[in-house]
Structure 1
Amino acid sequence: MKKAILIFSLSIFCFLVSCSKEEPKNLPPTAVSLTFPTQNQLCINNSITFNWSDATDPEEEEIQYRIIIAKDRQLTNIVETRSLSASQLTLTLDKATAYYWQVIASDESNNESAPTVVNAFYTKGDASTNYAPFMADLKTPENNANINSGSVSLTWEASDVNTSDDLTYEVFFGENTTLTLLESAVTTKTYDVTVESGKTYSWQINVIDDKGAKSIGQIWSFTVN
């Protein structure tokens, strides 16, 4: 009798399990694309209408956009952050200033899309003829990466709205958070260093144009296996 009851109970359990369905996972909206200001744009007017593409949500939930505007590529020195349902926003910013911006979409369930790339742009000054370069865009090694010991190439990108300017780079590098200037007039966008196992290193690139204008770079770190 006990055996029959056990078999019956197991049958009911298996039936319930087979009939039950997992709730479908709520998916985030699609990422958007920044349309204006474009990358490295020189904006003639400091009253700027930011535009980006519309996101779509798999569950057709309402979408909110969070725009972040900062004075550094890491988006830590934030000058404006807004949440809105439209895919554009008009703001008046300081003149003759470099800005960096990004947009993230979210749905009603608070699922966030992948962030956009960070676009850089410059607002024009009243009588400026030369602008400081944009901050270096560090590429490899990635921030907080784990890499193997030996020779490592530090790589970055750099640009200037004064496209005829020649750019040079200051390379700072060191263990943990102690940075030392390795070279002050690098002309390529790569620099090889030797790293040892079990250590953490930091690096920074400053960009200088041929008129002496300088942009101080962000600091990235990586650990050696």
Structure 2
Amino acid sequence: MKKVLVYISLVLSLVYSCSGGGDGPDGGSNEAPSQPTQVYPDNNTLCLENTIDFQWNPSVDAENQVITYKLQVSENNLFSTIAEERTTTSTSTIITLEKGKSFYWRVKAIDSENTESSFSSIYQFLTEGNGVSNHLPFSPELISPAFNSLVNDLTTTLSWSASDVDNDNLTFDVYLDTFNPPSTKVSENQTATTYDANLSSATKYFWKIVVKDEHGAQSLGQTWNFRVN
């Protein structure tokens, strides 16, 4: 009986040693490809044509697997809705978009085992409209507090960034509320890209920025939110 048990143990040991235990092609763990970096359109670019050749630098895969790229284009920087999505093994793809609008784009890499990199940075660009002499400002970009974050201070600085391809002077209206969408305008025509908000504890806040240039053109930002501890 002891000989039988020893024999079974040896067989199981051989089976285990031959089977390996990893997830990668050589039995080891599979690493995600490196994060791709964008080439064109660059951040805050005015694209004179609405048919755009999106380009990015190739990712690197430690296991030398075939890399597929997923590109997403959205009209908001949270990518809550996707205007266009492409999957390709190339490092470029051509997409035709609506004229005279602001868009955001990002791209990530996926290897042949479906291990994904994180998305690239989010780049904003504008497509030229027909007969446009003044362009809309770019939509504001959130700096702080982070989207859907928790803050501890009852006085918190709201911070954002904004730009304009015509280099116009910009002013901002700030909306802050405890409901969505926020409708209370707490500051109007300010030139600073920060606003010090007095808050209440255990409350969720929603806020947005309207960007205006000196010619009256306006861009409405996304609604952001945070919660006070």
Please report the TM-score for the alignment, with normalisation by the length of structure 1: 0.86
Note if 1:45 corresponds to 2:59: no
Work out the percentage of aligned pairs sharing the same amino acid: 33
Q: Residue in 2 aligned with 1:170? A: 173
Tell which deviates more after alignment, 109-118 or 28-37.
109-118
Alignment of 1:117-196 (within 5 A): 117-163=121-167, 165-177=168-180, 179=182, 180-196=184-200
Count, aligned residues: 213
Q: Distance in 2 between matches of 1:84 and 1:153?
A: 42
TM-aligned CA deviation for residue 65 of structure 1: 0.6
The verdict on how the C-alpha distance between 1:26 and 1:160 changes in structure 2, with shifts beyond 3 A counting, is same
Report the Cα distance in structure 2 between the residues aligned to 1:131 and 1:78, rounded to whole angstroms. 23
Q: Give 5+ residue unaligned stretches, structure 2.
A: 23-27
Of 193, 209, 214, the residue aligned with 1:210 is: 214
2-side partners of 1:122 and 1:86: how far apart? 24
Query: 1:11-40 CA deviation, whole Å, 9 max, x = no partner?
Result: x8xxx7xx9775232221100111101111
Range 54-63 or range 173-182, more displaced: 173-182
Whole-angstrom CA distance in 2 between matches of 1:171 and 1:105:
37
- Paired with 1:78 and 1:37, the residues of 2 have a C-alpha distance of 18
**What SS does the corresponding residue of 2:158 show, helix, strand or coil?**
strand
CA RMSD of aligned residues (A): 2.3
| TM-fit CA distance, 1:178 | 5.5
* TM-score (structure 2 length as normaliser): 0.85
Q: Secondary structure at the match of 2:124?
A: strand
State the SS of the aligned residue for 1:78: coil
Residue 46 of structure 1 contacts residue 124 of structure 1 at CA under 8 Å; is this kept in 2? yes
Which amino acid in the other structure matches residue 119 of structure 1?
A: Y
Q: For 1:24-76, what per-residue CA distance to the aligned partner results, in whole angstroms no more than 9, with x for missing partners?
A: 32221100111101111111222221100001112222111111112222223
Structure 1 segments (4+ residues) deviating >6 Å: none
